[in-house]
Structure 1
Amino acid sequence: LPYLIDSNSFDPNSFYPVERSFQDLRWFGIHIGASFWTMAGFIVLNYGVGTYWFGQGLNRCFHNPKATLINKQQSYWLTASFQAVILGFALNPQYKNWRGYTHGLEENSQMLLVFNVVLFLALIAALSPHRQTLQDWARYRHQDRTFRKKGGVIADLIWGDKSPAVVAVAINCAIASAMLLTWILLWPANEYKIPALFALLLNSSLIMIYATVAQLMLLMKTQKRAAGAVIAVGGLILLPPILFWIGSMTLYETPAIWLFSVFHWGILPYANGSVFLAIIAQSLALTLFNVQLGRQLRQAGESTTKALLSGKTEKYQARVSHLIH
């Protein structure tokens, strides 16, 4: 992956001809940059896969504008296919004379984490239902007698279109992490292996926090819930590094603080024992957010059910009084 970055770098010391970068392009060891036809075929293949997923989203929204862009089953396949594509490039790191092969692997793993953050932000937006849908789901879950026969809450959280997206995002994280974890474990023993594993864990934890916060914002009673979710998640991503920079908290002096930002993968070599503290803190925050989400879902379902029951009671009383008179 660095050959694509260095080929467009403004640093004269890192100049790498564009033609040479594409000639060295490999995917799962296949030298796709060796000829024009293999390169063109690979581009067409990726274009076709991207068009397919884009068409799936358009098709769902055309038939039901209130539906999520993709369903949860499609998201699992999308994540797996995306990981396969980007992981194929990461297997063959391009490195300079003063950098070793293992350092190239570490750089590629960091780039994959960045790509995954972008992917999961898109998945969160595509999978998260809004307040009315969640209210209907919460009421349906309490009233439908066949709900348990269909697999209950767990099955609906995994496959259902109207249920919260947090569990689906967690499964997508597990799919992506399993593929990247297998690759990292196959690295030769080096000093970058353990930091790469911690970076993968912290990245998944942050993604889950973003997903839960976004779902909480979409459950609010305000009119502009989507804008609120974007602002909240964007603030979680951008505000920490901005505040750390304003407070003169450098990476080398206070690395533990930077572990709570999305750029944690660059701080791990300097964090030492602070990684475990960051993992515990993020796990605690994720637990609290999910407890709050569960509480709000229960309240939404109960309030909607009570409103319906009270409405039916009022109609029944009005009918009885009409018959009496």
Structure 2
Amino acid sequence: MMPRPIRHTAAMILLALLLVGAGASTASAKPLVGIADQKADMFTDPRFLDLGIRTARVYVPYDVTTNPRQLVNLDRWMGAAKAAGVAPLVTMERSSDRRKRGRAPSVTTYRRQVRKLRRRYPFARAYSVWNEANHGGQPLSRRPDLAARYYRVLVQECKGCTILAADLLDQPNMTSWATRFVKALGRQPKYWGLHNYLDANRLSTKGTRKLLRAVEGQVWLTETGGVVARRNGSKVKFKGTGVGHARAVTKFVLTKLAKVSPRISRIYLYHWNSQTKMDSWDSAFIAFDGSERPSLDVLRSYLGRPLGPPKGPAA
């Protein structure tokens, strides 16, 4: 039998090794990867199913239940996601009604619409308060205090759900908006969403690190990706566009940005497939003609899936 001091030393060494091993396991853990896309056909594409992805993001007008056409599309998206075994992240968005687009709903209206969504899609267990809430075109861009009230509504109406404070765009007012939100809420939320297209397409980590320093809790990259083409009139400069650029950005996001902090626990890449040759924004893995782009093999490799020959000409 070992003397007590030796047994104690051996136990301490074993404990230290276990702690180091646990730390290494945590450090090497990859963020969960999902796709952000509004179209239900993604869930029946064999190439998507082969990836084994288990979460997807959709943004919906807060009053979607009052618009029959939009509700049919959302029903189709939700039904297809459920059938494919994909858990939805639902992000609230301004109304598509031009008469209401510039106005934020009252807390009572927001609660009523949340309740309708919860009854219709009880399997949806992750919500974000608002899409790109700090963007100047959004009615909450100067109202983080109202967003904090919406956050409380979601916490109350979706007990046990994962609630994101908001999806923020990586622009200059990002951290000031977040700071004001926290002050209005009176505490730090557990989850934030970030659309870091600037960082991603400039191959930078600056903006992402800035938000991480400003807030606590997990940060989900709820929209990010490499831009193939922009036709939306934006003057924001990237390092480039095109399929080669999108491939490099996808690799950067998954291998560099993902490792900036263990607090980055999810990445939603936007988006699965483009619809036309002249989409105003195109960062898709699948071109409008159905052909695969090089970025898809980057994603396959990251997820440990076999690489396949591209189908059709690259766009």
Question: Is the pair's TM-score, using the shorter chain for normalization, greater than 0.5?
Answer: no
TM bucket, shorter chain: under 0.3
Q: Relative to total residues, which structure has the larger helix share, 1 or 2?
A: 1
Q: What's the TM-score once normalised by structure 2's chain length?
A: 0.25
Q: What's the TM-score once normalised by structure 1's chain length?
A: 0.25
